[in-house]
Chains A and B, each alone.
Chain A
Amino acid sequence: MNYRTMIAALALGASLDAQMPKFAPPVRLEAGGKLLGAERLYPSPVYHDVNGDGLADIVVGDLRGHLTVALREAGTGIPRFAAETPLNGADQRPLDFENW
């Protein structure tokens, strides 16, 4: 490796390092005093402002095709979430992605 190649490689490494985050050890989230995602089959969370209050709520899908919403409570500090409720469709019944 000549010195130009070496410098380029080092610069690429430094660039990648700068893009790597440092995460705190993971913590389990709660909603309404219960562990979020507990007893769900393959819970798949996604951030989405469901009630249009400007705060990102958490919608949780699962293997069965069900969706629940944990609304973020207003306030400062550590985000807190209300108990999960089903995400309803236009017919006011829980939205159900029909599954196998």
Chain B
Amino acid sequence: MSPQFVDFNADGHLDIVAGIFDGSPHLSRGSAAGFRPPEQILDKDGHRIVLNQFWNFAAEQWETTTRCDLPGASGKGHLTSALAFDWEGDGDFDLLLGDHKSGRVFRRVNEGTNAKSVFSTKNEPVLADGRAIDVPGTVATLRLVDWNRDGRPDLLASSMGDAYGEQSGGGVYLFLNGGSEKTPLYAAPLTLVEASPKGQAAPTRPDSGLYADIADHDGDGDLDLLVGAYSHWSIRPPVLTSEQKQRVKEIKAEQKAIEDGFDAIFDAIGKATAGLDQKAARKKSAELRAEKVEELKALTARRHAASQKLAPFDPSPKRESFIWLYENLAASPAR
């Protein structure tokens, strides 16, 4: 999710707007008593705002639709970020939607008011430098910032990158707005943080799943960058004695037996649910897992113990989440 604090319905209380992994933007309305339970933001026809993929809560399954596509759409979009933004400068919030499956950004126009929003039903691509925005590494989140203090909101986009593999990680990009108050016109992106090459021996930077925000963190008058993300690193393994090598062999054999145990359970579940529809398969799978819960717990505990035993001899690649600060050292235009 990518929370944004904004008075979305213009009632004098800050609300929270967030695109979440279910594929739709949500709104938690602020009130004198606090934030209300989140609800989906709907379009003017009362339908969920989505790109293509979405989680159907009623059917409890992932589904895909093209009902919001304009010609040329990929048909594979998955919204996980949303940003309230008065695109046309007409006093009401429109929505920008980020595609976690690509680098595209889309817009839904509010044809109503903030008090009574009426969102269009189609996803209109947002352009930069005359072409559809294509954030390198696919969109994680979107933020607004007046980077160059010209009174026009610029667009900050940070990206996912390859979340598990060895391909490039995510970066942070800035699209400067050279348009007018009524017509934003974005330039080609400036790179604020290069896409991560990964391959470090220690956590030195955010590598994948970069969720950025920007503000003057330290009060020195310029704009700093805050980035939540995963860091990936691999500790160089030590040189082992022959005795240690033998120990490693034994632990790895134990790990194989543990994984074989998991495979046996999940293969059996797979066979039992083959041919069922998604809902029935989920139900059956849950029942079978419940029957095997103690066995699974024991295997999980053994897996953890074996991993701990192996760690000093054969450090595995690490992937952990942190929040990073990039302190701006330059006299940025915001100073």
Given A37-B228, A59-B3: A26 in contact with B215 (beta carbons within 8 A): no
Could you tell me if B333 and A18 are in contact, using CB atoms closer than 8 angstroms? yes
Q: Is the CB of A42 within 8 A of B321?
A: yes
In the assembled complex, how far is the CB of residue B20 from the closest CB belonging to chain A, in whole angstroms?
5
Asked if B38 is at the interface (CB within 8 A of a chain A CB), the reply is yes
How far does the alpha carbon of A47 sit from the alpha carbon of B145 in the complex, in Å?
Answer: 12
Within 8 A of B (CB), among A24-42: 24-29, 35-42
- Residues of B contacting A: mostly: strand
Residue contact B3 to A46, C-beta cutoff 8 Å: yes
Scan residues 154-182 of chain B and give those whose CB is less than 8 A from a CB of chain A: 176
Instruction: Tell me if B55 and A100 are in contact (CB < 8 A).
Output: yes
Partner of A63, one of B5, B21, B215, B325: B21
Within the assembled complex, what's the spacing in Å between the Cα atoms of A43 and B228? 5
CB distance from A55 to the nearest CB of B (A): 9
Q: A23-B329, A97-B38 are in contact. Are A78 and B218 (CB under 8 A)?
A: yes
Number of chain B residues close to chain A: CB under 8 A? 63
Q: Does B213 sit at the interface, judged by CB under 8 A?
A: yes
Check B321 against A39 for contact (C-beta < 8 Å).
yes
Residues B20 and A28 in contact, CB atoms below 8 Å apart: no
Residues of B within 8 A of A59 (CB): 3, 5
0/1 string, A43-59, CB within 8 A of B gives 1: 11111100000001011
Counting CB contacts under 8 A, is B22 at the interface?
A: yes
Instruction: Report, as a range, how many residues of chain A touch the other chain.
Output: 35 or more
Nearest-neighbour CB distance to chain A for B15, whole angstroms, equals 12
Q: Are A28 and B324 touching (Cβ within 8 A)?
A: yes
A19 → chain B closest CB, angstroms = 6
Q: How far, in Å, is A67 (CB) from chain B's closest CB?
A: 6
B105 at the interface (CB under 8 A from A): no
In the complex, what distance in Å separates the CA atom of A46 from the CA atom of B2?
8
Per the 8 Å Cβ criterion, residues 61-89 of A in contact with B are 61-63, 65, 67, 78-79, 87-89
* B205 interface residue per 8 A CB criterion: yes
Nearest chain A residue, comparing its CB with the CB of B188: A16
A44 pairs with B228, CB closer than 8 A: yes
B328 touches A42 (CB 8 A): no
Q: A28-B324, A78-B218 are in contact. Are A19 and B3 (CB under 8 A)?
A: no
Instruction: Please state if A90 and B205 are interface contacts (CB–CB under 8 Å).
Output: no
* CB neighbors of A among B161-218 (8 A): 176, 190, 192-193, 203-206, 209, 211, 213, 215, 217-218
Residue of B190, B323, B327 near A19 (CB, 8 A) is B190
Question: Is A43 touching B323 in the complex (CB atoms < 8 A)?
Answer: yes
B266 within 8 A of A: no
CB neighbours of A78 from chain B (8 A): 218
Residues of A within 8 A of B (CB): 16, 18-29, 35-48, 56, 58-63, 65, 67, 78-79, 87-92, 95-100
Query: Which B residues have a C-beta under 8 Å from some C-beta of A?
Result: 1-5, 16, 18, 20-22, 26, 28, 31, 33-38, 55, 57, 62, 140-141, 147-148, 176, 190, 192-193, 203-206, 209, 211, 213, 215, 217-219, 222-230, 320-330, 332-333
Sorted from nearest, which 6 A-B pairs have the closest CB atoms? A44-B211, A90-B34, A43-B228, A37-B323, A100-B55, A22-B330
Known: A42-B140, A67-B16, A98-B38. 14 other contacts (CB 8 A): A19-B147, A22-B330, A26-B324, A36-B323, A43-B321, A45-B228, A62-B1, A88-B35, A89-B28, A90-B35, A91-B34, A98-B22, A99-B1, A100-B22
A-B contact pairs, 19 of them (CB 8 A): A19-B147, A19-B176, A29-B322, A29-B323, A35-B323, A42-B209, A44-B141, A45-B227, A46-B2, A48-B5, A58-B323, A67-B3, A79-B218, A88-B35, A90-B31, A95-B37, A96-B37, A97-B20, A100-B21
